[in-house]
Amino acid sequence: MMLLAAITGLSVPKPAECPDPIQGTWVGIERRPSGWLHYTVQVHSPAEGILQGTILGHFWGTPDRTPPRCTDYAHDQFIAHQSATGTFLDGKLDFEALAVDRIERRCGRVRPYLADHLTGHLRAPSVIDVVSDDGGAPPSHVVLTRIACHSPGA
């Protein structure tokens, strides 16, 4: 967690300790050539190994490590809302949004955004190393940290 904080400059929340290995709210951030992308991933498991939930991709096109206020200066900032499904078997995650449900424009223009596909493995309780692959940009590595628990089957 310290390494992520050192790289991004963001404070990293303490991982939530949950009874279920995958259900919960997960967050992660990656630096892109054109800005930053912060993920908020909600994961529910209605049945053993089967996942449902959402992926929110909050993009801002500045070098700032946190999203600036839209009134500070002109920049692009938006949130892509995506419904996702997938599996979690033997510690391996495969969670994919088939489409972007809607884009919430904060300021500037909305850039093209392709549906996210997150694959990876549980590195430690409440920490997942994932590869984010939208089929457009080169795949990138993101560390997701669980910050909240969900009840099993919720």
Residue range 61-90: average pLDDT? 88
Gap between the Cα atoms of 131 and 7, Å rounded: 17
Residue with tokens 């590869």: 131
Average pLDDT over residues 20-48: 93
pLDDT of 7 higher than 60: no
Q: Which residue has the tokens 């984010």?
A: 132
Segment 14-29 mean pLDDT? 93
Helix (H, G, I), strand (E, B) or coil at 21: coil
Q: Give the type of residue at 131.
A: V
Q: Given the structure tokens 């050192």, which residue do they identify?
A: 6
